[in-house]
Chains A and B, each alone.
Chain A
Amino acid sequence: GENVEQHPSTLSVQEGDSAVIKCTYSDSASNYFPWYKQELGKRPQLIIDIRSNVGEKKDQRIAVTLNKTAKHFSLHITETQPEDSAVYFCAASRSNDYKLSFGAGTTVTVRA
């Protein structure tokens, strides 16, 4: 099955700086890559997703890039704010098998 690895496991950034989280996947048939944000004690919430026919997608301060050849995708958060502090999960799935395989998560702390 699909194996998704996520790095780093923890990330501390100064407010206003950028944060980058990287994920790699093993199944070349995977074509859907969502990112979830989970605040302490809350549910995972989708923040952005990308499909394999697109190399980059942006939504305000958040962007995701996908390199299908290398089988990795990344989340970029610019101008970080304290409310960006949370655990972020990447995931991958195939179109014919809609099972999301999640990375282990990255705990992001934004220092004021």
Chain B
Amino acid sequence: DAGVIQSPRHEVTEMGQEVTLRCKPISGHDYLFWYRQTMMRGLELLIYFNNNVPIDDSGMPEDRFSAKMPNASFSTLKIQPSEPRDSAVYFCASSFSQGQPQHFGDGTRLSIL
């Protein structure tokens, strides 16, 4: 199995630009999670999906952040407009079902200048 695949691995862009992060979960996994990791705040859950439906987006920082899952094999996290404080590593994870381990992708290191 290829594992959770994220792209891009690194993204550097200027403040105000739109940023789109992509994730392909492990085939057959029904749950998909987006996390943000920073030194100050650690690992934070932003949003998660079950069968392509957003279940809990209470961790999404503000309206500048949006996430979609148009099908079982693809999800995006979009930031528009981006700000320097959005700089972080963004991880996508997936799991087979409730109560099963979450498997993380390699992350996207985002730098907003």
Q: Which residues of A contact B (CB under 8 A)?
A: 32, 34, 36, 42-46, 49, 51, 89, 95, 97-105
Contact = CB atoms under 8 A, between A and B. Distances in A.
Given A34-B101, A46-B101, A104 B91 contact: no
Contact of B99 (A89, A95, A103, A105): A95
Contact of A99 (B56, B99, B105, B106): B56
The 6 closest A-B pairs by CB, nearest first: A43-B104, A102-B43, A98-B98, A46-B101, A44-B104, A104-B42
Contacts of A100: 33, 45, 102
Given A43-B91, A46-B101, A95-B99, A102 B107 contact: no
Give chain B's interface secondary structure class. strand
A36 B102 CA distance: 10
Interface of B: 31, 33, 42-43, 45, 48, 56, 91, 95, 98-99, 101-107
A87 to B, nearest CB: 10
A51 B99 CA distance: 9
Give chain A's interface secondary structure class. strand
A33 to B, nearest CB: 11
- B91, B98, B105, B106 interface centre (most CB from chain A within 10 Å): B98
- A34, A44, A45, A51 interface centre (most CB from chain B within 10 Å): A44
A51 B98 CA distance: 13
